[in-house]
Structure 1
Amino acid sequence: MTQRTTVRELLTEHGRTHAEEAGIHLANTPMPLYQLLTLCVLFSVRIKADIAVAAAHEVFAAGWRTPRAMAASSWQDRVDALGRAHYRRYDESTATALGEGAELIRDRYAGDLRRLREAAGEDPGRIRELLREVPRIGPVGADIFCREAQGVWPELRPAFDRRARRAAADLGLPGTSEGLARLVDAEDLPRLAAALVRAGLSSSRS
């Protein structure tokens, strides 16, 4: 099997981004970028991916799709929304993180993550540093954001975190971000990164 055949099969079987699963139509505009950040906050604890995605659906269905709306919501309402998604153990701390993070993005960047990008000078390393100033966003959350946002912020390309590169090497694919990027068109980079992470998780469970 050639590497490109392996990639095609990966994209067919696993090539759906977390943003797509959460109903986020990602674009370089304030609302979907903030929704992606919210999703990353939800992923930044030890919880199953499907529960994090379900929690995102609940949060967005409640109308909290912007920092202003999230900051205006009550802590209890956020806890209740997370509870409906069975987001257990971390519901209270995550409700706090969502509120505090919304206030930070609203106050520091006027609710627009493109201003974070500008503040970072479009430097990928600095973007990650600024993302990690958001409550609950650590290295994993920053990696997820960059993996998904590389579709709309070209300076992040190619974004394949350690988990994706490890899975690629196990599948006989290049173990570097640059090598993987040569196997797909730029618009498919987020899908390939997500597919590799999922394939790695599936392999670890088997």
Structure 2
Amino acid sequence: MSPTTRKNPRDRTEKAVAQALLDRQEATYLAQAGVRLRNTPGPLYQALVLAMLFSARIKADIAVAAARALFEAGLRTAQSMAKASWQQRVDALGEGGYRRYDERTATMLGEGAELLLERYGGDLRKLREEDDPKKALREIPGLGPTGVDIFLRAVQTIWPEFAPYVDRKAQDGARRLGLPTSPDRLATLVSRRELARFTDGLVHAALDKPLADDVLAEAKPA
């Protein structure tokens, strides 16, 4: 039996698991927050805000709800976030259920918006042009290494120089599902346009064992 023949069943199994996961993760976390991602200042900033909210030890659905509440309050750009009062930011976060970290996060959102305005005119496409965009992202208040991973995972379909972007939490999900952890290997299981949704799904699997078990059961041949 040739090496190619030996690996085909495993490849089919991995692709079946990936598809079952995509069926469960119908939209990216960013889409769930009401954002249609494009390479324009507003959606990119909204992706950054969601990454900041996810950086705290808080449930994913609460982070998504808080992001949606901020955006529905009109805080969709660095300009509007900086212009809003601290109390307005606190109130919007509270509306989304993000109460444990609302005051500190409201402060960091304001400081981060001011920094983006000062350095890039509020346009993250200019940050992308930096020699080291990841380093520049880490300098934004409230966006440590984890937040940078979350942001780049979200935007990898429109900033392809970072794709495939599979952070440690997504790799944890891949292990739980019996998938390879190599970003390049994982990228072969889905189309390029599905990478962000797929990696979001891997994170979901890392955080939710029953979901991972359901995915594996669904992917198992009858």
Q: Could you tell me the TM-score, scaled by structure 2's length? A: 0.86
In 2, are the aligned partners of 1:78 and 1:95 still within 8 Å (CA)? yes
SS of residue paired to 2:39: coil
Cross-structure match for 2:195: 189
Q: Distance in 1 between matches of 2:123 and 2:116?
A: 7
Percent pairwise identity: 52
**Which residue of 77, 98, 107 corresponds with 1:66?**
77
1:24 aligned onto 2:35:
yes
Q: Which digits, 9 at most, give the CA deviation of each residue in 1:49-89, with x for residues without a partner? A: 11111111111111111111110000011111111122112
In 2, are the aligned partners of 1:15 and 1:192 still within 8 Å (CA)? no
Distance change in 2, residues 1:178/1:109 (3 Å): same
Q: Distance in 2 between matches of 1:136 and 1:204?
A: 31
Q: Distance in 1 between matches of 2:188 and 2:26?
A: 17
How far the C-alpha of 1:204 sits from its partner, in A, is 8.0
What amino acid maps onto 2:204 in structure 1?
A: R
How far the C-alpha of 1:169 sits from its partner, in A, is 2.5
Cross-structure match for 1:92: 103
Q: Distance in 2 between matches of 1:23 and 1:157?
A: 23
Q: Distance in 2 between matches of 1:46 and 1:167?
A: 17
Moved over 3 A (4+): none
Q: Distance in 1 between matches of 2:63 and 2:180?
A: 30
SS of residue paired to 1:155: helix
Matches within 5 A, 1:116-127: 116-120=127-131, 126-127=132-133
What amino acid maps onto 2:40 in structure 1?
A: T
**Which residue of 160, 166, 169 corresponds with 2:166?**
160
How far the C-alpha of 1:15 sits from its partner, in A, is 4.4
Q: Could you tell me the TM-score, scaled by structure 1's length? A: 0.93
The count of aligned residue pairs is: 201
Q: Distance in 2 between matches of 1:42 and 1:169?
A: 25
Matches within 5 A, 1:34-45: 34-45=45-56
**Which residue of 21, 24, 45 corresponds with 1:13?**
24
Q: Distance in 2 between matches of 1:46 and 1:163?
A: 13
SS of residue paired to 1:2: helix
SS of residue paired to 2:113: helix
Cross-structure match for 1:123: none
1:151 aligned onto 2:162:
no
Q: CA RMSD in A?
A: 1.5
